[in-house]
Amino acid sequence: MQAVLTCRSDDIMHNLKSDIRVAVVFGPGRKLRPVWFDLDRHKHVIREITTSWLERRGETPLLHFHVTDDGALYELVYNMKDAVWKLGRVEPL
């Protein structure tokens, strides 16, 4: 899988669009907690979820997570309609 980088030099975070594999823990009340994700055949263990929010694009609910590993801040986006994870953005720490 290849991520497509689309950014300007003054962007704070780089915008990426890439399907990714994410391991999650399902909690009570239909809560999801990502624990690791695979990007370019490298497993990134999530150290912290800094924020999460729900966005709707038409009829499609998208669940966003800002997460950190040891080297960057990532935005993981779960399409609840299609059950697909995407990497939204990444910013090196």
pLDDT in tens, 52-79: 999 999 999 999 999 999 999 999 999 9
Whole-structure pTM value: 0.81
Q: Which domain holds residue 63?
A: 14-92
Confirm whether 24 is domain-assigned.
yes
Confirm whether 68 is domain-assigned.
yes
Q: Which two tokens stand for residue 60?
A: 């499609």
Domains of the chain: total? 1
Confirm whether 64 is domain-assigned.
yes
Confirm whether 76 is domain-assigned.
yes
**pLDDT tens digits for range 23-59:** 999 999 888 999 999 988 999 999 999 999 999 999 9
Segment 9-15 mean pLDDT = 49
Sheet holding 21-27, edge to edge: 21-27, 31-39, 42-45
